[in-house]
Amino acid sequence: MKGILFSADGIVLALFWGGAAVTWLSSLGYLLILTLIVRGRGGSERPAGAEPGIAVVVPTLNEEALIGEKIADIQRSDFPRDKMDLVIVDGGSEDGTVEKVKEKISGGQRIKLFQLAGTPNKADQVNHALRNVDRDIIVFSDADSRMAVSCVRELVAELEADPAAAIIGATVSPRTGLLAERIHWWFLNELWWLEGEVFFCAGVPGVCFAVRRKALLSMDGGSKADDIRLGLEAGARGFRVRLSRRALATEIRVPQTVKEFLQFRRRRGSCYAHEVLRFSRRSRSPIRWRLLRLLRLWQFLATPILALAAVLSGLRLAASRHWPLVILAGAAFLVPAVLKVFEMAGREEKPRRWALSLETVRFLVLFLLSLLVMRVPFSGQGALGGKRP
């Protein structure tokens, strides 16, 4: 027995089983645990109430091609128009974005325009709105997003129903024929919804989300991902951050090819890791928030390496007498992943089972590659216990 453990095959087996087991627990096992917790709690009724006055804010930078339709998109909302202010915060567009907004204003549309000089960072535009818009509830919506008619109303209703909540995010669908991108969003929506229900602090999509302004008057202007930064700030202060399954939005500017998918996920993953790393731990922050942050760091930094170790050692074992173990471990990942994709796809469309099965395999490979090649800011101010932002 000892000889087997310390043989070359024994070391490869240990790498394979250790990497595969920890990767499974950090991904599919984690989702399963969260699902069981949420199902054990049961649902809750949302009390109805009168709609408050709100503002819908659109941060813009060179959005001439999209701003007109975005304004129309907001005006299609079923939220009472007399209780909704429309605000455009422009970060210094050099195209015709501002001129198009001014044309709408001249035509009699009730729009407030803030023009900021040289602030291309979306976080600065969000900060300006948080400090200067005179509404307690603000719905942020990107110019390249389209909201369901009921999206604003659902976001506001869920925020009003939960006084402890600071942010409610919309459930996002990408407008693309690339199945890998759609699968990514299905998993992301599911993960953030579950984490919001269990930890009361989750990620929210920058595409569309509602904020209780008094809970978050500002954030660090150096943020590379305003939505992640706001979620971290709110959770660290003890507020709830959740995702709404009723509020639906579509993102237009999304990957359409595998190359774009890898580039976008690498860039987005790097920004996400940047925000989580540079956000210093605070002794007074809720334990659930600190736990979730540590889990996310583990998933970003350790899990991809362990997964790669499992894949490489699995390739070695596939050519040996241990090949059935590789098949067994592969099935432990693929079967629950494919079944979960069938379930999530069924909420939007009739599942095409063979296509979805093959695309799930490709998605897992592409997602692992994007995590392995992302840039992680290990150095610099604010990384792991650095200066408080």
pLDDT of residue 226: 76
Query: What pLDDT sits at residue 78?
Result: 96
By percentage, how much of the chain surpasses pLDDT 90? 65
Q: Residue 379: CB partners within 8 Å, gap ≥ 6?
A: none
- 332: Cβ–Cβ under 8 A, 6 or more apart, which residues? 20, 24
The values of phi and psi at residue 86, to 5°, are: -105, 125
237/339 Cα distance (integer angstroms): 37
H/E stretch holding 168: strand 165-174
**Best CA proximity match to 211, nearest among 133, 146, 130:** 130
Residue numbers in the chain where pLDDT is lower than 50 = 1-5, 379-389
Report the C-alpha gap between 266 and 276 in whole angstroms. 15
- Work out whether strand 240-251 and strand 165-174 pair parallel, antiparallel, or are unpaired: parallel
Q: How confident is the model over 239-267, as pLDDT tens digits?
A: 999 999 999 999 999 999 999 999 998 88
Q: Please tell me the predicted confidence (pLDDT) of residue 267.
A: 87
Predicted pLDDT of residue 31:
95
User: Would the pTM count as exceeding 0.85?
Assistant: yes
Q: What is the pLDDT of residue 282?
A: 58
- pLDDT at residue 347, as a whole number: 74
Q: How far apart are CA 158 and CA 73, in angstroms?
A: 21
Task: Show the domains of the chain with their CATH numbers.
Answer: 54-257 (3.90.550.10)
Res 353: pLDDT: 80
Q: What is the pLDDT of residues 130-179, one digit of tens each?
A: 999 999 999 999 999 999 999 999 999 999 999 999 999 999 999 999 99
